[in-house]
């Protein structure tokens, strides 16, 4: 093949999102008439609030169907500024806010804007599937701190072992996807004290901030204000407002990096549709309380799921303090099988033989684990975990 057909090495090295791939496979089986218990998808099972939908429809009927400004219109950015001050005790100006097509796009553009070839970014396992490939796409190197045996917690002493002269950034996700682990105030203060002495960017992914069940969510940037000038706060509307398909994410941070992300967006997706911006701004003004009933229902399902999981032998999971995932350690169970000896193989077995879709830990740099979303009906949750029990028993 001639040189003109040699594709980008960076982009060719990227893998498709395993969560989206598994969800697509589960939906394909469903279309074939097969009942699938789908715990793979990372979105709430309740609909967007009807008043948010109404605001979008009103904006459409008023003719808000043209291009909007890159990086978000001023009304939306002002709504984000108000939300951050009111709920997070974080002070930003509108020109320190950039909006995009979901927090995923914002993160992708952020890594492209921050990183140079060979820079290293520290991620703590288990970590969201896209961080790795975002960093690689920017020409940088993801450095993964393994899951500690005591559980998926962020530990400065362990992080330090992976620091080099090339370390450029650190990513924190709390509440965490996939484990649901949420750092408490003392853990955040300890981590913040460690990070403020480092010459790194700190990327704080707080997309699950509304889904913190056991203690109030706090931003590390609020608790350790010395971090503000080198930190970027990431959030969006997908999880806490059940607006996954609306694609509204945002970043708050130093203007110099926010401007770069905005410029990059102007050359890619251009803008969020203006009618979506109007609905999102209205939702932000309502705040945490708008979806509180639905969020409370997730906490109840979390407790039901933990009770069901406790009855299954040879598996365990820490109690998730937030998000809507169970991160199940199946390493002991897999030791009993010669063929299904990895969580990847076992997840394929679960889908093919038991019609249970979940995400293997390999996707999160944590082999030997499985991620189950409990943002589903209690009946499906009960039947799905019963099938997991059957599959685990069959290994022995």
Domains annotated for the chain, with CATH where assigned, are 3-47+291-395 (3.90.1150.10), 64-289 (3.40.640.10)
For the chain, the distance separating the N- and C-terminal CA atoms, rounded to the nearest angstrom, is 50
Q: Of the given ranges (27-41, 101-115, 130-144, 362-376), which has the lowest mean pLDDT? A: 27-41
In the chain, the percentage of residues whose pLDDT exceeds 70 is 96
Per-residue pLDDT, 63: 96
Mutual angle of helices 129-137 and 102-114, in 10-degree steps: 40
pLDDT (average), residues 103-108: 97
Which pLDDT band, with edges at 50, 70 and 90, does 134 fall under?
Answer: very high
Which pLDDT band, with edges at 50, 70 and 90, does 1 fall under?
Answer: very low
Which pLDDT band, with edges at 50, 70 and 90, does 8 fall under?
Answer: confident
Q: How far is CA 359 from CA 152, 208, 261, 387, in A?
A: 17, 19, 31, 15
- Of 306 and 3, which is predicted with more confidence? 306
Which pairing describes strands 167-173 and 201-205: parallel, antiparallel, or unpaired? parallel
pLDDT in tens, 225-259: 999 999 999 999 999 999 999 999 999 999 999 99
pLDDT (average), residues 339-356: 92
Which pLDDT band, with edges at 50, 70 and 90, does 4 fall under?
Answer: low
Beta bridge partners of 141: 120
What is the spatial distance between Cα 132 and Cα 298, in angstroms, rounded to a whole number? 28
Residue-by-residue DSSP string for 53-86: HHHHHHHHHTT--S---TT--HHHHHHHHHHHHH
Mutual angle of helices 274-286 and 74-88, in 10-degree steps: 20
pLDDT (average), residues 170-198: 96
């Amino acid at each position: 093949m001639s040189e003109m057909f040699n594709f980008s090495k960076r982009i060719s090295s990227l893998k498709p999102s395993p969560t989206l791939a598994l969800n697509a496979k589960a939906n394909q089986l469903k279309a074939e008439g097969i009942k699938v218990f789908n715990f793979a998808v990372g979105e709430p099972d309740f609909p967007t609030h009807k008043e948010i939908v109404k605001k979008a429809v009103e904006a459409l009927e008023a003719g808000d169907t043209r291009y909007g400004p890159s990086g978000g219109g001023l009304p939306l950015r002002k709504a984000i500024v108000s939300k951050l001050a009111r709920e997070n005790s974080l002070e930003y100006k509108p020109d320190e806010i950039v909006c995009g097509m979901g927090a995923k796009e914002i993160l992708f553009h952020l890594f492209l804007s921050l990183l140079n070839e060979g820079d290293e970014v520290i991620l703590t396992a288990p970590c969201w599937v896209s961080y790795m490939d975002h960093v690689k796409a920017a020409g940088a190197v993801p450095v993964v701190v393994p899951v500690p045996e005591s559980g998926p917690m962020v530990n400065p002493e362990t992080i330090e072992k992976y620091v080099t002269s090339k370390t450029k950034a650190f990513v924190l996700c709390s509440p965490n996807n996939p484990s649901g682990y949420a750092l408490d105030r003392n853990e955040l203060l300890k981590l913040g004290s460690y990070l403020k002495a480092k010459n790194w960017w700190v990327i704080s992914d707080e997309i699950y901030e509304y889904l913190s069940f056991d203690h109030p969510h706090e931003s590390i940037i609020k608790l350790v204000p010395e971090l503000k000038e080198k930190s970027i706060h990431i959030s969006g509307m997908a999880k806490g407002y059940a607006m996954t398909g609306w694609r509204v994410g945002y970043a708050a941070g130093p203007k110099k990096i926010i401007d770069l992300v905005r410029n990059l967006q102007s050359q890619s997706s251009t803008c969020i549709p203006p009618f979506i911006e109007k609905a999102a701004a209205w939702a932000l003004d309502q705040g945490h309380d708008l979806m509180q009933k639905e969020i409370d229902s997730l906490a109840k399902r979390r407790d039901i799921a933990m009770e069901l999981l406790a009855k299954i032998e040879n598996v365990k999971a820490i109690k998730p303090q937030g998000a809507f995932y169970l991160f199940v350690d199946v390493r002991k169970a897999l030791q009993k099988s010669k063929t299904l000896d990895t969580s990847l193989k076992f997840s394929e077995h679960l889908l093919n033989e038991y019609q249970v879709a979940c995400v293997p830990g390999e996707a999160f740099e944590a082999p030997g684990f499985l991620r189950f979303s409990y943002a589903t009906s209690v009946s499906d949750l009960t039947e799905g975990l019963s099938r997991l029990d059957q599959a685990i028993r069959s290994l022995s």
